[in-house]
Structure 1
Amino acid sequence: MEPGRAAGDAGLRPAPTSDSGSPVATLLAQLRRMLGCDAAAVALKRIDGVSHVPFADGMSQAVSSAFEIPPRTGIADAAQAGGKPMWTSDYLADDRFVHSPRLDEAVRADGVRAVIAAPLLRDGAAIGVLYGVCRHSRRFTPAEVDLCTALARVAVVLLDHTMRLQRMHAERAELEGENGRLHVTLLRSRHLAEAHGRLTDMVLGGSDLSAVVNVAADALDGTLLVRDPGGAVLAATGAVPELEDISARAKWAGAHAARTAVPLADGVWAVPVTAGAEELGTVVLKNSGQLGEFDARFLWAVAQSVALILVLERDTAVVERPLRDELFEDLLSGSVSSPRHLAERALRIGIDPDGPHVVLVLRPEGGEQGKAIVWASSYAYRKGGLRSPRGEYISMLLPGSDPSAVARAVSRDLSSVLGHPVSVGAAGPGAGLASTARLHREALRCLKALIALDRVGSTASAEDLGFVGLLLSEERDVAAFIESALGPVLCYDSERRTELIRTLGVYFAADRSPTRAAEELHVHVNTVSRRLERIGRLLGPTWREPERTLEIQLALQLLRTQDTLRQGDAAPLGPGPARR
């Protein structure tokens, strides 16, 4: 230790006053016995001049390891300044020393009277003092002073020994902690290495993207999400926070520029999925802590595995494209072979011949037809469907039972890739592939209806277009259309034997005049008004809007036509030709 540097500054940790196992504590007990003192203590000076008491024996609670002696005060300062022991028979009454209120208060509280203090010298520099304390007034003999001085020299040796032991214990604890951290790191690296091996086996074995992402997420103890360049989710193990602000988008782009994992937000990381210079998407990880070195490397390996799967899917789609295109063209033209042969062709390229499917006709509204075709090819392959470019349109066959929902998803994803809106007409669901040609004609008519209705960039199926869709559909379900437009009113009339449907028909025939309708029905105008209020509650508040009104009137006309046809069917046949 450097001369003048306090023992406490060299790493000596203050010990409890009751630490009877310490060599210094043993020395203090010997000092009390040999000098006949009531208490003994060691005070060590810090670099700022303040002294503290790490070891004490027989002292009251007023002086403990937390007690501090101000600099340049008391008998300790005098002993250290002179480099020789000092004593007093009555400390509080002795004016040779600089008194401080705090130290005097502690001395008074402990009942201290006589005090002997020998400096602790190391290489000629004082690092503290050794105290002997009596609670009665007394004098110290020269022999006792020499003994205290000798014990002070021993105390310095013991303090050095104690400090060395403490340093050794601290180094040992640090080594044990480092060994523990290395052990945890080693286990983590082995765990991720095994997971990497599983990922490699899965990719080479033809596992799909979702299975690979689930294994990776489990290894990383987090949530994983894979997005394509347009932001569409290709696979996910859970919800990941949306990051749509400008700074997040800049960080997202930074992940691709840096070709490494980039933090997007607290606990959210992104790593690019690339094949050479081509950007294929992004892997996003959400975990509960920091991304360690091995975790970051594994996440990069996950992105490489994802890239390999996407490239293999695309290459497989390219290889199978002639077979897929030939099948779709046959389906669209209606020139299908036998059901058995059709099923075999579909299964050969991964298409379910018996599952429900929908047909879409797309029109990108911002050009970039080539880019749209490439995207549609990848999307159809990944979903287990087909695609075919047809002039300015792209036709698609996709598994699903809700044509409107499938159309919205395709329009959203493709629009984000192109940066332009995409109009989509949809039809379905179809049971079996033989209905593909009919559904394709209906989807195309829906797309053309959207364009004619000035709804470019929207999506719609025949059901979404209301009565217009009824006219466009080849399988016109009149009963379903009537039910969708007038169902609650028809049910109300049937259950209560009312005439709301008749009132509604007369109301429209009277140019929506309640007064003229009342005259036609031979009831009071208030009766018509109450019936119309009831109709409004049954059909909803928008029933008087132009589009709804047109559908209701068309449904009423269809209902009247059905009634007329039923009455004609029930009429008795006329007499047959006279027999001769």
Structure 2
Amino acid sequence: MEALAVRLSQLDAQVEGAIRVVMFYDTLMRRRVDLPALARASAGLAECVAGVRLHGTGRSIRCAPDGGAAPAPPAPAPESTAVPIVLDEEEIGTVWLERPGTPLPLDDVLLDRLAIAAAAVVERYGPARTTMADPALVELAVSCDSDEAARARALRLLGFAPDPPVRVVAVRSELPLDRIGALLCPARPVKAAPVAGVGVILATTVDRAAFPDGVRAGIGAAESPELSWQQARTALRFSTARRPVVAYADLGALALLAEVPSDAVRGNADVAAIARLADAPEDLRTLEAYCATGSLRRAADQLHLHHSSVARRLELIGKALGFELTEPTGLLRAGLALTSWRLLDG
């Protein structure tokens, strides 16, 4: 390698420098250095502050050229050049230089090699720190067809210890699964993958308040991953725009509605009436608000309407459904029919 570097250096001084940078990082990787050592060596090579940041842990390392920790600047230091750290096709962090003035010609080469070395370090130490996982491995962990030995091995390969139990979340969203998973469980192991058209997130803890807007999710309650996955998918079916995140544990007896055959649901007169009502979006929203609050005035507050306007709407909706909505039995029938109708689309 050194002989090749000498020969190429006769052709182009910049090529020689690039190859020496590559050799520098090859040596570091052979020595199996950690992230702080990588940052220190990079700062010394670049002769300016070098940084490494991992998104999943929020860990950030800044080193000065003398090998010590770089003092915190009075304001966020400008990153003269930055490159993402990529592992398993997922961006897991960033490396950068804080060089005053114009970047040098070899800065890009240095950062490319630093990013590659940082990804290798992350992969080497501890379970893979990326959020996205092999869908086949995740499916093995949650499938009811897997035996316990295969499930335990899959969870171990995904980075989960035998205890505590793994929580399972079923997700539908346009947002990337890795971003959602990192928000739900930022400081502990979390894995995500699409399975059978539904996003699966496995985590040791789930912060229900951390789900971003635009996400529909169901959270399983069981300790066994295969049962928790079934529960999570059931809970997902109950999610709505008003209630986008549903925990199976909160459903109680309502979960039984998910077990009713679809043909039986479609054949029910109340559900059929709700289906016809769906052609009038304003009426449907009014009924949803009333069923969710159980109060004409609270429904009016949610809809930003006068309570008398909501009362007139509910009277007409009740006539269309064939029963009185303001009676307790009518409210119960409407709520069950509305929920059952939603479950048809799952």
TM-score, reference length from structure 2:
0.42
Larger RCO: 1 or 2 (CA < 8 Å, sep 6+)? 2
Question: Greater CA radius of gyration, 1 or 2?
Answer: 1
